[in-house]
Structure 1
Amino acid sequence: MIDRPLDLDSVRAFVRIAELGNFTRAAEATQTTQSAVSLKLKRLEERLNCRLIDRTPRHVALSAQGVAFLEHARTLLSAHDRAINVLSQARQRLTIGISDHVAGPELPMLIARMNAQDPRLLIDIRIGSSDDLLRSFDRRECDTVIVRQHHGRDDGEVIAEEKFGWFAAPEWQHRAGEPLPLATMPEPCGVRLMAGQLLDEADVPWVEAFTGGGVMAVSAAVMAGLGVSALARRMLPFGAVDVGPRLGLPKLPRLPVVLHSRGGNHRSREALVALSAAFRNAVLD
């Protein structure tokens, strides 16, 4: 029987560890130190008289008790935040730019996760190319952008790395002696530039067979049999197949997804932590 109320900061630290899978990231998200996060977790575990997190030098995982407690912890924090937010009538706007090559089918789930974190936050989502969104971020037109890693920039936080492949429709066949037809987004798309460079280095002749203003358009062209496209597995149209090994195409690297943010106030930071955690889980799944 627990006869004292739980410390909300300790509960929040536990949820951040569970969502981010890392004490260091949890400390950054709560703007404190790793030792402070560890101490809060220890106090919470002592209060509940059970171990919530199983820790090894390289791995952090929820214990059985941690799994059982996690949703209750989120509900507790959500109720607390709603009680605080009800006193504030002004809605804060958070403008987030997401690269077209990053905004996949789980986008509704990501938005729902942020809304659950703070229902009174006005979320403004903008979809575009990584290059355009980074310029908007630098002009302070976006508070946060999630983009493919941009050549020449070393700022931002890598939140995931995605595996790419050369995908085509199941019935598509490459005509012998002809250049490889590519379905791509137009320049300055970084994925297009990477794909073309790798094919050139491997001495694989290629030609643009289709250019579309978004991944959805490119995916449609692929499934229409117009050619091959370099796509993240998460973004695949149903039925697309990886033809890279069969055609001997160069292996595509994992591409980092980077979060650029100015931080903002507590409410926007909490929503962005929820967004980052949900995105990591979507990519890992």
Structure 2
Amino acid sequence: MTTRTLDIDSVRAFLHIAELGSFTRAAEAMSTTQGAISLRLKRLEDRLGCRLIERTPRSVQLSARGAAFLERARELMETHDRALAAFSSSRQRLTIGISDHVAGPELPALIARMNAQDPHLLIDIRIGSSGDLLQSFDRRELDAALARLHVGRSDGEVIAEEKFGWFASPGWQHRAGEPLPIATMPEPCGVRAMASRILDEAGVAWTETFVGGGVSAVSAAVVAGLGIAALSPRMLPLGAVDVGPRLGLPDLPRLPVLLHSRVTDDRSREALAALSAAFRSAVRG
């Protein structure tokens, strides 16, 4: 009787495909190629004798057998990772700064993705403005930083680009003849600088009506009807609408999100790869 065994990397590849919904993102998370991911999945499917993933040109979905195998695959990886951690001499820390304009509602899922990649890697997350985080990164207080493109910086890996718009509460109306009321974050916020520059170049009179210490505070001001804000649709408060076309405001550009990193060890690199892949999936979605 032949004993069937499962290849751990193949199981991990399956989990990445299932959870990220993409062969491309799975390859990024495992720092490999789409071809290698496909081969690992095929090896696993051949071993199990069934198809786990249904792939079309437009979607990647679990088959019925794949959905049944998913929880068992997670349990297997958790047991595998616990066994390895039991023989680890020390717990490693990875300190990551994430811009408040980047973190968004997906932050819990991003943290969960990194933890799933390596449950015994101690992840230390710091939230702040891109400018402050990059200064901390330069002072070596952070191992990595996920931030918006910042003036004067040419380093970092672009992992996504996001569209921005001018958003307000549904019932908000601009009073004719008055400067455009803007809710924003304090300097040196890059989104604030971008929005004010574009309004000035278009000759739009504006004034600050609210300055918040984070995107959540700015979003609250928008919902309260204090004015409009330059936000990514991913960061929108409930019910906010894009009033840019109605007011004839200039279009806002897509802003890059960059990963700045100095990590060299495999564990940290793999965790950051999982973070980047999960963030790309969140932006795409």
- What one-letter code is carried by the residue in structure 1 that aligns with 2:241? V
The structure-2 alpha-carbon separation of the partners of 1:186 and 1:261, relative to structure 1 and needing over 3 Å to count, comes to same
1:184 aligns with 2:180: no
- Residue 34 of structure 1 deviates from its aligned partner by 4.9
Partner of 1:85: 85
Partner of 2:118: 118
* Higher mean displacement: 143-152 or 46-55: 46-55
Separation (CA, whole Å) in 1 of partners of 2:72 and 2:158:
29
Partner of 1:46: 46
Partner of 2:156: 156
RMSD over equivalenced CA pairs, Å: 2.9
Partner of 2:235: 235
Separation (CA, whole Å) in 1 of partners of 2:100 and 2:122:
21
Separation (CA, whole Å) in 2 of partners of 1:82 and 1:277:
24
How many residue pairs match? The answer is 283
Separation (CA, whole Å) in 2 of partners of 1:47 and 1:90:
35
Gaps of 5+ in 2: none
Query: Is the CA contact 2:31–2:273 (under 8 Å) kept in the aligned structure 1?
Result: no
Query: Is the CA contact 2:97–2:127 (under 8 Å) kept in the aligned structure 1?
Result: yes
Separation (CA, whole Å) in 2 of partners of 1:85 and 1:177:
65
| Higher RCO, Cα 8 Å, sep 6+ | 2
Query: Is the CA contact 1:8–1:77 (under 8 Å) kept in the aligned structure 2?
Result: yes
Partner of 1:167: 167
- Residue 158 of structure 1 deviates from its aligned partner by 3.3
Kindly report structure 1 stretches of 4+ aligned residues shifted beyond 6 Å.
Answer: none
Partner of 2:207: 207
1:61 aligns with 2:65: no
Separation (CA, whole Å) in 2 of partners of 1:81 and 1:138:
33
- What one-letter code is carried by the residue in structure 2 that aligns with 1:219? S
- What one-letter code is carried by the residue in structure 2 that aligns with 1:200? D
1:74 aligns with 2:74: yes
- Residue 221 of structure 1 deviates from its aligned partner by 2.5
Matched residue SS, 2:269: helix
Query: Is the CA contact 2:159–2:259 (under 8 Å) kept in the aligned structure 1?
Result: yes
The structure-2 alpha-carbon separation of the partners of 1:265 and 1:78, relative to structure 1 and needing over 3 Å to count, comes to farther
Query: Is the CA contact 1:96–1:123 (under 8 Å) kept in the aligned structure 2?
Result: yes
- Residue 135 of structure 1 deviates from its aligned partner by 2.5
- What one-letter code is carried by the residue in structure 1 that aligns with 2:60? A
The structure-2 alpha-carbon separation of the partners of 1:218 and 1:28, relative to structure 1 and needing over 3 Å to count, comes to closer
Separation (CA, whole Å) in 2 of partners of 1:180 and 1:196:
11
Partner of 1:21: 22
Gaps of 5+ in 1: none
Matched residue SS, 1:102: helix
Separation (CA, whole Å) in 2 of partners of 1:155 and 1:93:
23
The structure-2 alpha-carbon separation of the partners of 1:74 and 1:156, relative to structure 1 and needing over 3 Å to count, comes to farther
- Residue 180 of structure 1 deviates from its aligned partner by 0.7
- Residue 53 of structure 1 deviates from its aligned partner by 4.4
* Higher mean displacement: 145-154 or 76-85: 145-154
Query: Is the CA contact 2:28–2:274 (under 8 Å) kept in the aligned structure 1?
Result: no
The structure-2 alpha-carbon separation of the partners of 1:225 and 1:38, relative to structure 1 and needing over 3 Å to count, comes to closer
Separation (CA, whole Å) in 2 of partners of 1:136 and 1:20:
34
Query: Is the CA contact 1:20–1:277 (under 8 Å) kept in the aligned structure 2?
Result: no
Query: Is the CA contact 1:93–1:122 (under 8 Å) kept in the aligned structure 2?
Result: yes
Matched residue SS, 1:253: coil
- What one-letter code is carried by the residue in structure 1 that aligns with 2:240? A
Query: Is the CA contact 1:22–1:60 (under 8 Å) kept in the aligned structure 2?
Result: no
Separation (CA, whole Å) in 2 of partners of 1:155 and 1:21:
27
Matched residue SS, 1:15: helix
The structure-2 alpha-carbon separation of the partners of 1:134 and 1:149, relative to structure 1 and needing over 3 Å to count, comes to same
Task: Provide, for residues 212-253 of structure 1, a one-character-per-residue CA deviation record: whole Å limited to 9, x for no partner.
Answer: 222122223223332111112222223323221221112223
Query: Is the CA contact 2:29–2:276 (under 8 Å) kept in the aligned structure 1?
Result: no
- Residue 134 of structure 1 deviates from its aligned partner by 1.9
Separation (CA, whole Å) in 2 of partners of 1:222 and 1:162:
20
Query: Is the CA contact 2:29–2:277 (under 8 Å) kept in the aligned structure 1?
Result: no
Matched residue SS, 2:257: strand
* Higher mean displacement: 196-205 or 46-55: 46-55
Separation (CA, whole Å) in 1 of partners of 2:67 and 2:249:
43
Partner of 1:109: 109
- What one-letter code is carried by the residue in structure 1 that aligns with 2:104? G
The structure-2 alpha-carbon separation of the partners of 1:28 and 1:233, relative to structure 1 and needing over 3 Å to count, comes to closer
